[in-house]
Structure 1
Amino acid sequence: MADDSTITIRATFETREAADLAVEHLVQQCGVSRPDIFVQSAKSENSAGISPSGGDASHEEGARSDAKLAGEIEVSADIAVSQIAAVQRSLGEAGAIRVSGR
């Protein structure tokens, strides 16, 4: 009998860019449906991460200072228990600082 139960897995990232990459990995490499993936600030404050990245880091006059860098970005996804190892590996490849599941 197959275990078809689900789990919510959470990973934190230093930048929004890394979080976005993680979402793409989950969809393309692991087959997780986009409606089952959530991206938010890991804290109660709005945040674009803890360091500039992407367009914030490549501004003509150096890193932008108007991006809210107040904390890490959390990516969570509802996945089948059978996907845990593959999803953990994929999140790690995308740059996850921490990965946990419940």
Structure 2
Amino acid sequence: MADDSTTTITAVFETREAADLAVEHLVQQHGIARSDIFVQSASAKNTSGSAPSGGDVSHDGSARSDAPLDGEIEVSADVNSSMIRAVQRTFGDVGAIRISTG
């Protein structure tokens, strides 16, 4: 009998760009429903990450002063237990700084 249990995997990212890339990989490569993926600040502060990237960088390459770089971004996904290793690998490949399963 197949194991149909669901597990939540959580990863923390320094940039919004990396978090967005993780979501896209989960949806497009692993077929995880967008409604099973959650993105939020890893702290109580509103943030777009702890390091500038993408739209957080001004034209001269410096961090924009209006970008709220106040902490890391957390992405979690509820996945079938058979997908745990693949999702962990994807999170690591796109730049997760911490990954937990539980």
Q: TM-score range by the shorter chain?
A: over 0.9
Which string of whole-angstrom CA distances, capped at 9 and with x for unpartnered residues, describes residues 43-77 of structure 1?
A: 011111001110111x2243211111111000001
Partner residue in 1 for 2:92: 92
Once residues 97 and 41 of structure 2 are traced to their aligned partners in structure 1, the CA distance between those partners, rounded to angstroms, is 14
Q: Percent identity?
A: 67
Partner residue in 2 for 1:70: 70
Partner residue in 1 for 2:31: 31
Q: Taking structure 1 as the reference length, what is the TM-score of the superposition?
A: 0.95
Aligned residue for 2:3, secondary structure, equals: coil
What residue ranges of structure 2 are gaps of 5+ in the alignment? none
What residue ranges of structure 1 are gaps of 5+ in the alignment? none
Once residues 71 and 56 of structure 2 are traced to their aligned partners in structure 1, the CA distance between those partners, rounded to angstroms, is 15
Please say if 1:60 is aligned against 2:35: no
Aligned residue for 2:76, secondary structure, equals: strand
Once residues 15 and 6 of structure 1 are traced to their aligned partners in structure 2, the CA distance between those partners, rounded to angstroms, is 27
Structure 1 position 24, deviation (Å): 0.5
Pairwise CA RMSD of aligned residues? 0.9
Once residues 3 and 92 of structure 2 are traced to their aligned partners in structure 1, the CA distance between those partners, rounded to angstroms, is 24
Please say if 1:2 is aligned against 2:2: yes
